[in-house]
Amino acid sequence: MALAFWPGALTLVLPLRLESGLAPLVTAGLDTVALRVPSHPVARDLLAHFDGPLAAPSANPSGRISPTRVQHVVQGLWGRIDAILEGGAALVGVESTIIGLSYPPLLLRPGGVSAAQIEHVLNASLATIHPQSAIVAPGQLASHYAPNAAVRLGVMQPLVGEIWVGFGPDCGGAALNLSPSANLVEAAANLFHLMREADLLAKGQAGIAFAPIPSHGLGAAINDRLSRSAAPRPKC
């Protein structure tokens, strides 16, 4: 899989060797470690200059909408970080696919590389994790990627006061559209930015309603993010 998809949007979860020297903070105290080789030229240039591995958590408050542009990082973490490395808008939009290298290989999070692509390379089917299983990878919280507003999914007739986010040419009345041409690559790239835009528009309104998204290809990752954004929020 590394030969096929690295550098790129694939994270591999591997057993942690006792002599690895990695701090427990890097692995969240687990006996595994998640590894990825990014394809973005700025990230690769940083790695080349640093000449070593980097611990790279997400650049957003836990459970909230993922950042895909520098202003998203500013909005979420300004005053809590020392610097931001500007690399432009994220190309894929949704995060990497996470695969646990158990037997059989386990799809821990759908993402920028589709399950079908991975299964083709492996010549084997991926197992899926049970919803009640312990969290072993990022993005597995039931409520995640969440805006402030309430979210409804699969909506073609929004309620009065809802901000409707469309997909495809049949959503002419939508305030925002992930992809007017129903292109899943475009929709994935736009997802988190337009979710933030919808959240701003939804202040004082009934919430956000998303049109249905096909489940094939990148649609699996988009629907995963949307379902978690719509899940009941944990009470503080």
The domain total for the chain is 2
Q: Are 14 and 122 in the same domain?
A: yes
Between helix 184-201 and helix 219-229 the angle, nearest 10°, is 20
Between helix 70-77 and helix 184-201 the angle, nearest 10°, is 40
d(CA 221, CA 82): 31
Parent domain of 46: 2-128
pLDDT tens digits for range 65-121: 999 999 999 999 999 999 999 999 998 999 999 999 988 899 999 999 999 999 999
Count, in order, helices (H) and strands (E) of the chain.
Answer: 7, 9
Q: Which residues contact 34 (CB under 8 A, 6 or more apart)?
A: 11, 12, 13, 14, 98, 137, 138
The answer to whether 65 and 147 are in contact (CB under 8 A) is yes
Would 146 be classed as within a structural domain?
no
pLDDT tens digits for range 24-66: 888 888 889 999 999 999 999 999 998 888 888 888 888 889 9
Q: Which of 64, 95, 128 is the last residue of a domain?
A: 128
d(CA 70, CA 47): 19
